[in-house]
A and B are shown apart, each in its own frame.
Chain A
Amino acid sequence: MTATVPPLPSGLRSRVLEASLRARAAGGPFPEVPEISGAEAYRRAADALYQTLDQLAAPDWRRPTIRDLNVQSLVGHLTGVEDDLRRALAGDSEAETADHVASTQPAAARQASHDPVRTLQEWRGAVDSMLAGVAGLDNHGIIVGLHGIRLPLNALLVARAFELWTHENDVRLSCGLPAAVPDPARLHQMTALGVGLLPFAAGRAGLRRSARVHLVLTGAGGGTWDVELGDEQPSDPVQATIVIDAVGFCRLVANRATPAELQPHITGDREHAGAVLAAATTLALD
């Protein structure tokens, strides 16, 4: 005999959902992550990369990584970026228009004649100098132009944290080490930056249609966002929901993974959602 299930009382649904949202606000991850500054995210990313580099054997520094760089010249590239950022902060307008790769190529190339220890210490010294220079400045609304993009200093430092994490994993991949995962607080800063830049990426990729995408980044340091795309504010409710791992989303935004590799869970307008994810890879925050 099957018991008859009584119908839900009217009003119970809204009562339950309202009570739930009073207990915990929507949007943020569980458990909550502490808010950290862009400078702190950058410092943590630099520390993590330093630890990875510090454990490498001499032959590892010669292993090929991305483009035509080996580990050592990749670190030289990063020293070059620090040099350009220092120039940008000093008001040098050439740093804003400089190409991210070409501008840093001399710094990468000169590492060939250096001992890896020297390469490592030069880069770490440039990072420490930068951290000392931006201390207390990252929340003062300073806008900095670097390598073709203008961002508030705090966001730019998160972008730098993004780059350091991405290259740390380039190094780890080439040396046969497991991939590094940012701590939740740093990851949350990185995902928020990537999500914030999605409308820009979509527009640049030609996605002009107004749409609202419900983006859910899972795992520690993730979160939930309704991203508005297109030239005008979308009038319709959410057209697509994308659920994807937060670390995977960062790999996507760094152009180190494809949407197909990450197997996102998509409902709604799958075609548009796929185009948004494809656009995310063009941000190439590396």
Chain B
Amino acid sequence: MGGTDAVLAARLAAGDDQALAEIFDRLGTAVYGAAVGVIGVGSSAQDVVQDVFVELWSHPDRYNPAAGSLRAYLTVLARHRAVDTVRSELRRIGRQERHSRLTRAEAPPSPGEQVLTAEVASTVRSAIAGLPAAQRQVIELAYYHEMTCREVANAIGIPEGTAKSRLRLALAKLESVLDRQLLESP
């Protein structure tokens, strides 16, 4: 048998649930920390931890001990999953915006949606800070003030089409910035 990580990987493939528990005890905090670093403390970070360990247990072959440590593999996977959560939230905002154009009477967000929004807020806020001023302005109004495109356009005195186009550009740029953050994170 080779190093500790190689032994643990081989044990996972052999169906040894004790190995999974040992890995959680050793690396669970690091995985949770990686998720929290992207989406903050809360249930979404816990969901990410669960996804990461279920993935490890269900597909142990995807971890290659020769390519790096188990800690690195799991924490990178956690950051990827956390960014996916953020992107999913951005898409939800986009869908909400399109929906509001069609139906004026909006249903209030569910408690779960409110929690998720709070968790991703810090990450998104820092990404928004890096946007060009014109795009930052429309996304702040749409994201923080939950304005529709028409309301954004009225608020800052630009045509609605321009507001839509700036919002689309801003959302695309945010996704790209979040991807870069992931790649540059340790």
Interface residues of A (CB under 8 A from B): 3, 5-9, 12-13, 15-17, 19-21, 23-31, 214, 216-219, 222-224, 238, 241, 243-246, 263-265
In the complex, which of the residues B10, B21, B50, B58 contacts A24, with contact meaning CB atoms closer than 8 Å?
B58
In the complex, which of the residues B11, B20, B32 contacts A8, with contact meaning CB atoms closer than 8 Å?
B32
Does B49 interact with chain A (Cβ within 8 Å)?
Answer: yes
Q: With A12-B28, A17-B21, A265-B1 as given contacts, are A5 and B33 in contact (CB-CB < 8 Å)? A: yes
**Bound-complex Cα distance A191 to B1 (A):** 18
Q: Which of B7-50 contact A (CB under 8 A)?
A: 7, 10-21, 24-25, 28-30, 32-33, 36-37, 41, 46, 49-50
Q: Is B1 within 8 A of A223, CB to CB?
A: no
Jot down 12 A-B pairs with beta carbons below 8 A, ordered by A.
Answer: A6-B33, A12-B50, A16-B28, A17-B53, A20-B53, A24-B58, A28-B15, A29-B13, A31-B61, A216-B11, A243-B14, A265-B1
Q: How far is the CB of B105 from chain A (nearest CB, A)?
A: 37
**Bound-complex Cα distance A6 to B21 (A):** 20
Interface residues of B (CB under 8 A from A): 1, 7, 10-21, 24-25, 28-30, 32-33, 36-37, 41, 46, 49-50, 53-54, 56-61
Q: With A12-B32, A17-B21, A23-B58 as given contacts, are A224 and B10 in contact (CB-CB < 8 Å)? A: no
Residue of B nearest to A220 (CB): B13
**Bound-complex Cα distance A6 to B45 (A):** 11
In the complex, which of the residues B7, B10, B17, B32 contacts A21, with contact meaning CB atoms closer than 8 Å?
B17
Which A residues touch B32, using CB under 8 A? 5-6, 8-9, 12
In the complex, which of the residues A15, A17, A238, A244 contacts B20, with contact meaning CB atoms closer than 8 Å?
A17
Q: Is B58 within 8 A of A264, CB to CB?
A: no
13 extra interchain contacts, Cβ-Cβ under 8 A, other than A16-B54, A243-B14? A5-B29, A5-B32, A19-B50, A19-B53, A20-B53, A20-B54, A20-B57, A30-B15, A30-B60, A218-B1, A223-B15, A224-B14, A224-B16
**Bound-complex Cα distance A9 to B42 (A):** 9
**Bound-complex Cα distance A281 to B25 (A):** 35
Q: Is B7 within 8 A of A265, CB to CB?
A: yes
Report whether over half of chain B's contact residues are helix, strand or loop; otherwise say mixed.
helix
In the complex, which of the residues B1, B33, B61 contacts A30, with contact meaning CB atoms closer than 8 Å?
B61
Residue of B nearest to A32 (CB): B15
Which B residues touch A8, using CB under 8 A? 28-29, 32
Q: With A29-B15, A217-B14 as given contacts, are A243 and B1 in contact (CB-CB < 8 Å)? A: yes
**Bound-complex Cα distance A244 to B59 (A):** 21
Best-surrounded residue of A29, A216, A244, A245 (most CB of chain B within 10 A): A216
Which B residues touch A28, using CB under 8 A? 15
Q: Is B37 within 8 A of A3, CB to CB?
A: yes
**Bound-complex Cα distance A16 to B54 (A):** 7
Residue of A nearest to B57 (CB): A20
Residue of A nearest to B33 (CB): A5
Which A residues touch B19, using CB under 8 A? 216
**Bound-complex Cα distance A12 to B78 (A):** 15
**Bound-complex Cα distance A219 to B53 (A):** 21
Q: Is B49 within 8 A of A241, CB to CB?
A: no
Q: How far is the CB of B122 from chain A (nearest CB, A)?
A: 13
Q: Is A17 within 8 A of B11, CB to CB?
A: no
Q: With A6-B33, A13-B28 as given contacts, are A218 and B54 in contact (CB-CB < 8 Å)? A: no
**Bound-complex Cα distance A243 to B4 (A):** 12
**Bound-complex Cα distance A243 to B9 (A):** 12
Q: Is A218 within 8 A of B14, CB to CB?
A: yes
Which B residues touch A20, using CB under 8 A? 17, 20, 53-54, 56-58
**Bound-complex Cα distance A210 to B41 (A):** 46
Chain A to chain B: the 4 pairs with minimum beta-carbon distance, closest first:
A26-B17, A218-B10, A5-B33, A20-B57
Q: Is A12 within 8 A of B57, CB to CB?
A: no
Q: Is B15 within 8 A of A224, CB to CB?
A: yes
Q: How far is the CB of B56 from chain A (nearest CB, A)?
A: 8
**Bound-complex Cα distance A11 to B17 (A):** 18
Q: Is B10 within 8 A of A219, CB to CB?
A: yes
Q: With A6-B36, A20-B58 as given contacts, are A26 and B24 in contact (CB-CB < 8 Å)? A: no
Q: How far is the CB of B9 from chain A (nearest CB, A)?
A: 9
